[in-house]
Homo-oligomer: A and B are copies of this chain.
Amino acid sequence: MSKDELSPTPETLAKQLKVLADPKRLRILNLLMSGVQCNCEIGDSLNMPANLISHHLRVLRNAGLVQVERDALDARWVYYSVNEEAIQALVEAFDAFFDLGRIQPRHPTCGPKRMKGKPTKKLIVKPL
Residue of B nearest to A78 (CB): B128
Instruction: Find out whether the CB atom of B74 lies under 8 angstroms from the CB atom of A127.
Output: no
Instruction: Find out whether the CB atom of A84 lies under 8 angstroms from the CB atom of B69.
Output: no
Given contacts A10-B24, A91-B94, 4 further A-B contacts (CB under 8 A): A17-B17, A68-B127, A69-B124, A72-B122
Q: List 10 A-B contacts (CB under 8 A).
A: A14-B26, A34-B102, A35-B104, A38-B109, A69-B124, A70-B124, A79-B106, A81-B106, A87-B100, A91-B94
Q: Which residues in A have some Cβ–Cβ distance to B below 8 Å?
A: 7, 10-11, 13-15, 17-18, 20-27, 29-30, 33-38, 40-41, 68-75, 77-79, 81-82, 84, 87-88, 90-91, 94-95, 97-98, 100, 102-112, 114-115, 122-128
